Structure 1
Amino acid sequence: MTAPTVSRILLTGFEPFDQDPINPSWEVARALDGEVIAGGAVHALQMPCVFGAAIQALDEALAELQPALVICLGFAGGRSEITPERVAINIDDARIPDNAGKQPVDEAVVANAPAAYFSTLPIKAMVRNMRDMGVPASVSNTAGTFVCNHIFYALMHRLSRRAAPGVRGGFIHTPVLPGQVASQPGMDLDLQIKGIREAIRTAMTVHQDLRENAGQLY
């Protein structure tokens, strides 16, 4: 009997940056590396927190793995929930330098490309399912203008132009770990892993997102 085909899931997290010794997004990704979730095998990749180099690493992984699902993770200080991002915008505007000292201002991620792309993940269903499991989560409408948005936009631009349709992708921000940043909210690593595992399961099994309010006034 032929063994069932297992899809590949690319799950990325960033290396530490801005003098932080740890990046929760990579700790979550590597904890899930090798797991099979809803018929998909997770392949974790640590991304450089560097403009341009992150896109090169993404391109190499897409070519090698030919994944059915791509979820990029990053961490967002000040957030206490796991936040799937709704939209990526075509702008690099760095408040701080990246790990290579680059600090672009008002530069396009991809020249002569659309202003924005929406995630193709079922972000509202992901949030609902994570909450049902006791994991704080909400939809975010801004991925910032640093390397997180940079790789999110690059991913969606590439998926929009791929010859093979049906590959879904998007970006999720995770909180910092408790005690990582003084006076900032955090979430235990085990709870973050639980939430992202459920987000992946949802992305692999839910093909039509929920239609419910997840808007914000500001």
Structure 2
Amino acid sequence: MATSIFDPSKLRIVATGFGPFLDHQRNPSWEVAQAFSQAVAPHFSTDCERLAVTYAEAQHFVERVGYEEGHLLVVHFGLSGRRDHVALERFAHNCRGETRDETGRDGWPDHVEPGGPLALQTLLPLRSLAAEIDARLHEALDLRARVSRDAGEYVCNAIYYCSLRAVERVRREGLPADALFVHVPQLDPVRADAVGAQMGDVLCAHLSDRQA
């Protein structure tokens, strides 16, 4: 699916960020998601949600967000404390690590969806998007953006997999939909707002160019 088949009059963009988890009492992904949503709102119908860092929330989000209606683009944001750059994730993998989620529950299966595809990928043109985001962030914040092929094995990967699985089903019905997961590093509130705003501007420009 190319983003050009979105009808701009029907397109809805949903941004999500996560709340606190493990030893991270402040999660900048939520601040990034809010700033991103504010940048997108003048151009497209937009919603923004803060999600709990649980595997159950990953599934519940997909069930309530309305993928089946089509013309939906979901952009998930999450924190990766081990990275020093913004990472646009190309793939979600059907795997689950051993780290407990915020419910404290263990004993989860090894897979996000037993029997599901090993990996799913967004069809957004990440190389061009990342290049434009990288240029903007490097100039404004001395921060880089890169395409990544590994979204990890935690809730970030799980919600991305669930979203892309829903996208896959919707596309079979001939309706446009897509999803993207973006990992952000530790950011103070000012830099988090700037990252979200720049990413929102880039995405809107991209979608507008594709509709022209």
Q: Taking structure 1 as the reference length, what is the TM-score of the superposition?
A: 0.79
| 1:195 equivalent in alignment to 2:198 | yes
How far apart in 1 are the matches of 2:199 and 2:185? Answer: 12
How far apart in 2 are the matches of 1:154 and 1:10? Answer: 15
Q: Taking structure 2 as the reference length, what is the TM-score of the superposition?
A: 0.81
Match of 1:73 in 2: 77
Question: Residues 176, 166 of structure 1: CA spacing in aligned structure 2 closer, same or farther, 3 A cutoff?
Answer: same
Aligned length: 196
Match of 1:214 in 2: none
How far apart in 1 are the matches of 2:126 and 2:12? Answer: 20
Offset of residue 125 of structure 1: 1.2
- Please identify, of 74-83 and 130-139, the stretch whose mean Cα deviation from structure 2 is larger: 130-139
| 1:31 equivalent in alignment to 2:25 | no
Divergent runs of 4+, >6 A: none
Structure 2 alignment gaps of length 5 or more:
1-7, 139-143
**How high is the sequence identity, in percent, across the aligned residues?**
26
Structure 1 alignment gaps of length 5 or more:
181-186, 208-218
Q: CA RMSD in A?
A: 2.6
How far apart in 2 are the matches of 1:12 and 1:130? Answer: 19
Question: Residues 83, 206 of structure 1: CA spacing in aligned structure 2 closer, same or farther, 3 A cutoff?
Answer: farther
Identify, as 1 or 2, the structure richer in helix. 2
Which of 154, 165, 189 matches 1:146? 154
Match of 2:5 in 1: none
Question: Residues 40, 65 of structure 1: CA spacing in aligned structure 2 closer, same or farther, 3 A cutoff?
Answer: farther
Match of 1:93 in 2: 97
Which of 106, 115, 120 matches 2:118? 115
Match of 2:134 in 1: 131
